[in-house]
Amino acid sequence: MAESPKKKITREGLRNSLKLYSYIRPFLGEYLLGMFFLLGSSLASLAFPKLLGDLVNSGNEGSLGQTINQTAMWLGILLLVQSVFSYFRVILFVNVTEKSLASLRRSTYDHLIKLPIRFFEQRRVGELNSRISADVTLLQETLTTTLAEFIRQIIIIIGGTILLALTSVKLTLFMLAILPPMMILARVFGRFIRKYSKDVQKQVAESNTVVEETLQGIQSVKAYTNEYVEMKRYEKKTIEIAALGMKSGKYRGAFSSFIIFGIFGAISAVVWQGSRLMALGELASGDLFSFVIYSVFVGGNIGGLATLFTNIQKFIGATEDLFELFDEEEEDLYEIEDIQQEFQLKGSIQLKDLSFSYPSRQNEKVLQNISLDIAPNKLIAFVGSSGAGKSTLASLLLMLHYPNKGDLFYDGTDCHDIPLSVLRSQISLVPQDIFLFGGTIKENIAYGKPSATEEEILEAAQQANAMEFINRFPDKLDTLVGERGTQLSGGQRQRIAIARAVLKDPRILILDEATSSLDSESEKWVQDALEKLMVGRTSIVIAHRLSTIRKADNIVVIDQGKIAEQGTHNHLLKIRDGIYKNLSKLQFGI
């Protein structure tokens, strides 16, 4: 998992981080109660060294009876209180964090899924998935552990320093001059060594990649007699790993020496100075014992602040990255229960002077001044060379993209005046590259109508000619299709997609080269299913194979983003040197 980049703590970053507390607000009572237990357990830990010192003083004073037993009893009570407070602090913080982040995950996913298609065209899926997984996991760690630990350490540093000063101002100044700097140096040194360990792990991963690639491509390795090339490549990696490991070993050895000499030396110096004060009668032995423990507490926590500060920087970076998503404007979508009469499509489409360019390449006109009338229940075909703009036109009809110029009407109503969810619910797209979810055939067909009964699903599969292969599977409709439908052939996936469209029962059907990559046998089954599906609805076919569109009511030839020709199959064949006629010659030799 990639680490979130550290960012400087800025006012804007803090403002973004505070947005997170809108998700904690519903559970504020639990959160404040957790803070109370955190405060109690932190104060209890501060009292622990003091009572240990009192225990030592009691022993030195010869109070072997009541005083020593009372101190021991108070120590036992303190440990019990601290244990109980720590237990409830952890439980409450975890509960609040889990409930808050569950809400945040839902909000992030709900927002993501409502964003327009252009957003996803400019982002990688791995990056977006990281927002919901890696970034939220980092927030979880911070809210559950880091913030609580930060508050605890601040309490211990401030409270411990005050108690040290009350014990001995001279010794406190001596300790603050020696021990905390050593602790900080130890943390910095330790982080430097961890960096080398990560570098070793990275090199090992790269060497494993060499092994994996070589073994996966062993046929090519042997065919090109490159065994010794690969052996040398792997040898080079192993030598690099060994050299890095040995260098890391030197630093680890130096770190061990530093801990022994630096940290323990600093503690020894504090004890030496305390012993001198004790000899002068300025400090009791129990107080020195308490002082040493407080010193280690304070020094260790000061050193630990560096790591916590780094984690807080990562936390701020993660919240900034996450909440940047919420700045993206959602599509105006809502759950459809019933379609009002005025928005029920009859199937008429009008394109008026439509032009479009993708945001990433504004200077390139994909569609230019497209004007076209499509009557209800007609079959319209779009043909043309690759990159002519046919599939882009399909995405405009579905309102996945919006035209830069011109108008799009459905039954004489401007597309922007029809609720987006309502419009898309009455249009189905069967693309060339079918995406199936990794569940069962039944679940994939039902995606067209989640509320469908099993009888409706069976009928849709029958109409799509899908039962021909479904009945051959032992689990029938409950057969798992595998990730992206890899357990099925291309023709089988197409028929599942057609069954899904049948179940949706759209008023307008868009087929984007739905048979172009199929073999002859699969094409026959799919084409028969498509012909059944197209009956009684407006059908728009984007075709590469002209044999599938000869019966179209109107064939529109797109060339370089413009309508070059249109008419029936026979009409277009009569156009001298026409684009359609030349395409026919290439495919059929006529």
- Whole-angstrom distance between the N-terminal and C-terminal Cα of the chain? 58
> What are the backbone angles phi and psi of residue 375, rounded to the nearest 5°?
-80, 155
266 in helix, strand or coil? Answer: helix
Determine the pLDDT at residue 191: 67
Distance CA 440, CA 481 (A): 6
Q: Do domains 348-426+508-590 and 433-505 have the same CATH topology?
A: yes
Please answer whether residues 302 and 183 qualify as being in contact, where contact means their C-beta atoms are separated by less than 8 angstroms.
Answer: yes
For tokens 């009791």, name the residue.
Answer: 284
Min mean pLDDT across 201-210, 357-366, 462-471 is at 201-210
**Whole-angstrom Cα distance, residue 574 to residue 561?**
23
Q: What is the pLDDT of residues 263-303, one digit of tens each?
A: 677 777 777 877 777 777 776 767 677 777 777 777 666 66
Residue range 485-505: mean pLDDT, rounded:
81
Q: Cβ distance 186 to 262 under 8 Å? A: yes
Query: 327 by DSSP, 3-state: which?
Result: coil
Class of 348-426+508-590 per CATH? alpha beta
Q: Are 276 and 231 in contact (CB under 8 A)?
A: no
pLDDT attached to residue 129: 72
358 and 366 Cβ atoms separated by less than 8 Å: yes
Whole-number Å distance between alpha carbons of 479 and 495: 15
**The pLDDT value given to residue 484:** 66
Cα 296 to Cα 12, 176, 184, 300, 315: the distances in Å are 36, 11, 12, 6, 28
Whether pLDDT at 531 is above 50: yes
Spatial contact of 234 and 210, defined as CB atoms under 8 Å apart: yes
Cα(52)–Cα(46) distance, integer angstroms: 11
Whole-angstrom Cα distance, residue 47 to residue 163? Answer: 9
Secondary element (H or E) of residue 87:
helix 66-113
Question: In the Cβ-directed half-sphere of 428, how many Cα atoms lie within 13 Å?
Answer: 24
CB atoms within 10 A of CB 413: 15
- For the cut 80, the answer to whether the pLDDT of residue 213 exceeds it is no
Record the pTM: 0.67
CA distances from 4 to 33, 118, 313, 467 (A): 31, 25, 9, 49
pLDDT digits (tens, 9 = 90+) for 496-506: 888 888 888 88
Q: 503, 446 in Cβ contact below 8 A? A: yes
pLDDT band at residue 2 under the 50/70/90 scheme: very low
Residue 445 has pLDDT above 60, yes or no: yes
Q: What is the mean pLDDT of the chain?
A: 77
Residue 3 has pLDDT above 80, yes or no: no
Residue 436 pLDDT: 82
The amino acid that residue 287 corresponds to is D
Model confidence at 61, pLDDT cuts 50, 70, 90, reads: low
- pLDDT at residue number 4: 45
Cα 86 to Cα 80: distance, rounded to the nearest angstrom: 10
Number of C-beta neighbours around residue 562 at 10 A: 16
Q: Phi first, then psi: what are they for 443, rounded to 5°?
A: -65, -35
Distance of alpha carbon 241 from alpha carbon 542, whole angstroms: 55
- Express each pLDDT in 294-333 by its tens digit: 777 776 666 666 666 666 766 776 777 677 777 778 888 7
**Model pLDDT, residue 194:** 64
Long-range contacts of 15-20 (CB under 8 A, 24+ apart): 16/316, 16/319, 16/320, 16/323, 17/315, 17/316, 17/319, 19/319, 19/323, 20/100, 20/104, 20/139, 20/143, 20/319
HSE-CB of 556 using CA atoms within 13 angstroms: 22
DSSP 430-445: E-SS----SSBHHHHH
What CATH superfamily is the domain 1-156+310-331? ABC transporter type 1, transmembrane domain (1.20.1560.10)
- What's the topology of domain 433-505? Rossmann fold (3.40.50)
451 CB-side CA count, 13 A = 2
Place of tokens 């990433």: 360
* Alpha helical stretches, state H, 355-419: 390-397
SS3 state of residue 428:
strand
- The 3 state secondary structure assigned to 18-56 is HHCHHHHHHHHHHHHHHHHHHHHHHHHHHHHHHHHHHHH
Q: Note the Cα 560 to chain centre separation in Å.
A: 38
Is 63:289 a contact under the CB 8 Å cutoff? no
* Run of H or E including 499: helix 490-504
Task: Quick: pLDDT tens for 414-435.
Answer: 888 888 888 888 888 887 777 8
Which residue type occupies 309? F
- Kindly tell me if the per-residue pLDDT of 6 is higher than 60: no
Contact 544, 512 (CB under 8 A): no
Query: For position 172, what pLDDT does the model report?
Result: 76
> Domain map of the chain by residue range?
1-156+310-331, 169-282, 348-426+508-590, 433-505
Of 568, 535, 539, 567, which Cα lies nearest the Cα of 551?
Answer: 568
